[in-house]
């Protein structure tokens, strides 16, 4: 840990040295409400990695087919173990797509895919990923409290793709998500280490199709109006114009 702290300290010094000598730092979001480059750069512009509107299906009709999905890297830190454990008690099929980063970890959890509760699709291209999301009833993003996950004031990009394709989202209870999901009403926040909460949240959405449809519509509306690249692009172009 000592060496890690020393490296981090010297990296920050170097980062500040560089940041003060360039015209602008582009960063995705604030961290716990703070601009981490404040006082360390001439200018900071926040431009997040939001989905392109034409890549999501805002016209997708919500399907209450009792299937739920996770798409992305498959690691312990991303809550995969708890999701698979929860799948045994959920009244539906868990659809998983992505790459296992660690072979040993894959061996630990692959037994779940031998049951009738979970299917593993491997790594899918973007078109197939979007189709898998469209045909699910719920999208899962229960990242554990590791590293930067709980500190950033933004959503994982996959969460916005779930929303843009019109499926309710179950997401970890971190400050930004709690605030925004209260405003948007597009899903449920859970403790990612509490398997009971995960089970109850998924089953609740399955058992309340009218409310799930409202969550679906609210998520699509938020992406259409706010969480899309077209909105971020405006800020990026303005920055270019200011700098030229």
Nearest residue to 206 via CA among 88, 67, 37, 104: 67
What pLDDT is attached to residue 4? 82
CB atoms within 10 A of CB 39: 9
What pLDDT is attached to residue 1? 63
How sure is the predictor about 15, in pLDDT bands with cuts at 50, 70 and 90?
confident
Residue 52 predicted with pLDDT over 70: yes
d(CA 88, CA 117): 6
Q: What Cα–Cα distance (Å) separates residue 193 from each residue in 86, 100, 133, 186, 198? A: 10, 20, 24, 21, 9
* pTM value > 0.85: yes
Domain 53-225, what architecture?
Answer: 3-Layer(aba) Sandwich (3.40)
Which helix H or strand E contains 104, and what residues bound it? helix 103-109
> Could you please report the per-residue DSSP string of 24-48?
-EEES--BTTB-TTTTTSS-EEE--
Nearest residue to 164 via CA among 222, 243, 234, 91: 222
Retrieve residue 106's tokens.
Answer: 């894959």
What pLDDT is attached to residue 140? 99
Domain with CATH 3.40.50.2000 in the chain: 53-225
d(CA 95, CA 121): 7
Helix (H, G, I), strand (E, B) or coil at 70: strand
For 196-214, the pLDDT digits (tens) are 999 999 999 999 999 999 9
d(CA 71, CA 150): 19
Q: Enumerate the β-bridge partners of residue 188.
A: 170
């Amino acid at each position: 840990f000592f060496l890690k702290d020393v490296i981090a300290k010297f990296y920050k010094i170097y980062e500040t040295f560089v940041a003060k000598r360039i015209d602008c730092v582009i960063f995705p979001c604030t961290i716990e409400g703070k601009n981490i480059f404040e006082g360390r750069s001439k200018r900071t512009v926040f431009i997040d990695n939001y989905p392109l509107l034409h890549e999501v299906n805002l016209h997708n009709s919500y399907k209450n087919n009792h299937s739920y999905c996770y798409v992305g890297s498959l690691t312990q830190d991303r809550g995969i173990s708890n999701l698979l454990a929860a799948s045994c008690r959920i009244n539906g099929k868990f659809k998983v797509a992505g790459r296992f980063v660690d072979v040993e970890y894959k061996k630990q959890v692959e037994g779940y895919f031998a049951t009738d509760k979970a299917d593993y699709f491997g790594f899918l291209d973007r078109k197939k990923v979007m189709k898998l999301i469209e045909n699910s009833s719920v999208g899962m993003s229960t990242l554990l409290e590791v590293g930067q996950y709980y500190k950033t004031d933004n959503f994982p990009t996959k969460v916005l793709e779930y929303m843009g394709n019109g499926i309710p989202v179950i997401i970890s209870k971190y400050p930004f998500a709690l605030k925004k999901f209260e405003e948007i009403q597009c899903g449920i926040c859970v403790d990612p280490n509490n398997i009971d909460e995960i089970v109850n949240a998924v089953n609740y959405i399955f058992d309340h199709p009218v409310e799930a449809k409202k969550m679906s519509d609210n998520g699509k509306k938020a992406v259409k109006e706010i969480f899309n690249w077209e909105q971020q692009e405006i800020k990026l172009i303005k920055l270019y114009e200011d700098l030229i």
